[in-house]
Structure formats: C-alpha cells, structure tokens
Amino acid sequence: MSLEKRVYEARSSLGRKLFGVWGVQDYYTRLEQIAEDGAQMTYGYILMVLASAAMATGGLLINSPAIVIGSMCVAPFLGPSRAVCIGGLFCNRKFFLGGLPKQFLGLLILGSGMAYIITVLLKYGLPGVEVTHEILLRSMANTLHVVLSVFIAVSAGIAASLALSAEPRTMDAPWGEVIDAVIGVEIAISLIPPASVIGISLALGRLDIGWHAFLLLMVNILGLDIFGSMLMLGLHGVKVRYLAMETTIRRTVESTLAATLGAIPLVNTISVTLIDPTAVKVHATVRHQAGETHLAALAQAIGDEINNRLGYRSEVMVETIPCQRYSTL
C-alpha cells in the first residue's frame, strides 16, 4: 500500500471517529430510552409543573429574583426537551411529537393557567397586585433583552447536549443526576418565568406584556430544542444509523444465541459498545442449564456471525453462568 493511500485511510478513519460518540456501552440505545422517558406524560410531571408555576408566580408578583430562581429548581422540563431533540435526530415521530406537546401543555396550559388563577385570586382579595420589574424583564422590553434571552436559551440547550455527548459517561456516574438537575435549572430559566408572565398579564389585563412573553417563550423553546440541543448533538455525530447499528448487532447476537441454545431466557443481557463505524465490542451474559458443554465456541460463533452478516469487526466476550431449574408446573 502506498504512503499516500495510508495517509488517506488514516485521515478517513480519524474523521469517522471524531464524529460520533464511541467506546460507551449501549450509548445510543440509552439515548433512545432517555427520549422515551422524556416523552411520557406522568402525574408527577403535572404536579411539578404546577408547583414550579405557583412559586414563579409568587416570585414575579413580589419582585423577588430568589423565589423565581427557586421555581426553576423544581421545573421538570429537561426530559421533554431531550425527547424533542433526540426524537428529531433519530427521526422518531413518537418521541418528537410526545415531547413537544408535553412542553406546551406544561408551559401554556398548566404553567400559565396556574399563574392566571393565582393572580386573579390575589387581585380580588388583596391590594397591590401589579406589574413588577421581574415581570417586565420577561416581556422583551428592548432589543438587548431579546438577544440575551436567545443567547441564554441556546446556551442552555448546548449545555444539555454536551452533558450527553461531550461527557457521555456521566450518564452512569453517581454525579450524573446532579449534573442533570443543574442543567434542568438552566433550561427552566428560559421557560417557566415567561410562561407564568403570560398568565399574570392576562389576569392583569396587560395583553401587550402577555404577547411579548409568549413570543419570548416560543423563541426560547426553539433555541433550547433545535438551535442548542439538536444542533450540538448533531455536530457531535449522534445519528440514527448508529442507533440502528447497535440494535442490529444486538439482534444478531440474540439470533445466534437462540440458534445455539434453542431459546433465549429473559435474564440474559447483551451489551454493545461501538468503537467506530466499523468495529464493535459485545459482552453477553448467558445463563444456561448446568451440564451443557456446547458453549466453548459461542463467542467465536457470535463474532463470525457479526462479521459475515453485517461486515463489522468485533471483539466478543461471553460470560456463561450454569443454572439449575426446578418446576412443579
């Protein structure tokens, strides 16, 4: 092989490795699970949105930035934002169309509705309920506020994606949930206060403020989901074909095990780690009937099947656990 061809192949291999997340076990499958969880509407999500909107409304009406920040700490909008982002990248309409309505329901119906109800009750029960400085900050008072609001929303979306792509191993680390919690607060900065301002302004008859807050909310959602999160994950090489690669390899292993053992118990586990677009590591745990002696070449059989059927280079480790079964059924 000539020197020029070797250099060309080395550069091509480097380019393939740069665009994608490699060496993380079941990475793309877990992204899919994150999107599926984020797209589901739950009772807890509804209650958390109502609680955060109530806190935000109180903070906005008494002009307290500290209380508004506190409302962001309980706002549960990281999940649906990731569902929209990952669903779009993986071309999964179920996740995308699950996360987007979940966001709008939480913000415009639950969040704004809670703010409207609280403001109406306070307005007719107590004096001094009026537009505050904190409310005006969410009404895009000038061009600077517009530009900075968009910048903050996009930055929060980028941070949410970087936690999944630049440091993907934090998903399994003990501090991973802490990082997600902090990022969730950053995302809520752009969402729950404007949503609450919409309800407050409607209750106070300030439709101009409500309209500007609505536009700000829409801009923030686009900045978070599309221009921040989705764009950053896309630049890191997160693609649906790598998810399909993991899925196909896992099914190939399952079919090979089924052909060898006759049936695949549910307790078996198969983990897939993509090394690059042409290489993969597989770790399978197989529980079999004690006394079976035909498993010696199982790893080789799986590796050969992956190479012959899919054309991928592979390193296969099979952990066999002999079991005993007794049943009176």
Question: Is a pLDDT exceeding 80 seen at residue 325?
Answer: no
Instruction: Return the pLDDT at 201.
Output: 94
The 10 Å Cβ neighbour count of residue 254 is: 15
Closest C-alpha to 53, from 219, 224, 197, 205? 197
**Are 123 and 172 in the same domain?**
yes
Which class for 267: exposed (0-12), middle (13-18), buried (19 or more C-beta within 10 A)?
exposed
Q: Which amino acid is at 42?
A: T
Tell me, yes or no, whether 84 and 123 share the same domain: yes
* Number of domains the chain contains: 2
CATH of the domain at 101: 1.20.1080
**Is residue 10 in a domain?**
no
**pLDDT level of residue 2 (50, 70, 90 thresholds):** very low
The pLDDT tens digits for 4-63 are: 444 334 334 444 555 678 888 899 999 999 999 999 999 999 999 999 999 999 999 999
The reported pLDDT for the residue numbered 9 is 41
The domain boundary residue, chosen from 206, 238, 270: 238
Q: What distance in Å separates the CA atoms of residue 107 and residue 59, rounded to the nearest whole number?
A: 17
162 plus 257 within the same structural domain: no
Judge if 267 and 179 occupy the same domain: no
**Residue 289 DSSP class:** E
**Same domain, residue pair 300 and 191:** no
Do residue 250 and residue 233 come from a single domain? no
Shared domain check, 64 and 155:
yes
Domain boundary among 238, 258, 289: 238
pLDDT digits (tens, 9 = 90+) for 250-264: 999 888 888 877 655
Mark whether 44 and 164 lie in a shared domain: yes
- Residue predicted with more confidence, 145 or 295: 145
- Is residue 33 included in any domain, yes or no? yes
Residue 203 scores a pLDDT above 90 = yes
* pLDDT recorded at residue 290: 61
Domain shared by 152 and 245, yes or no: no
In a domain, 130, yes or no: yes
- Output phi, psi for 127, to 5 deg: -80, 165
Q: What is the rounded CA–CA span in Å between residue 72 and residue 32?
A: 26
Strand intervals (E) in the chain: 269-276, 279-289, 313-323
Q: Is residue 48 part of a domain?
A: yes
pLDDT tens for 79-119 read: 899 899 999 999 999 999 999 999 999 999 999 999 999 99
The token pair that represents 173 in the structure block: 């680390």
If asked whether residues 258 and 154 sit together in one domain, one would say: no
Whether the model pTM is above 0.85: no
Contacts of 116-120 with C-beta under 8 Å, sequence gap 24+, read 116/199, 116/200, 116/202, 116/203, 117/199, 118/54, 118/57, 118/58, 118/199, 119/57, 119/61, 119/199, 119/200, 119/203, 119/204, 120/203
Residue that terminates a domain, selected from 219, 238, 257: 238
Looking at residue 323, its pLDDT comes to 73
Phi, psi of 273, deg, nearest 5: -120, 115
**Does 175 share its domain with 255?**
no
| Domain assignment present for 203 | yes
d(CA 34, CA 160): 13
Q: Do both 265 and 119 map to the same domain?
A: no
Q: What percent of the chain has pLDDT over 90?
A: 35
Q: Which domain holds residue 210?
A: 21-238
271 phi and psi angles, rounded to 5 deg: -115, 140
DSSP type of residue 276: E
Measure Cα distances from 110 to 46, 114, 116, 301 in Å. 8, 6, 10, 55
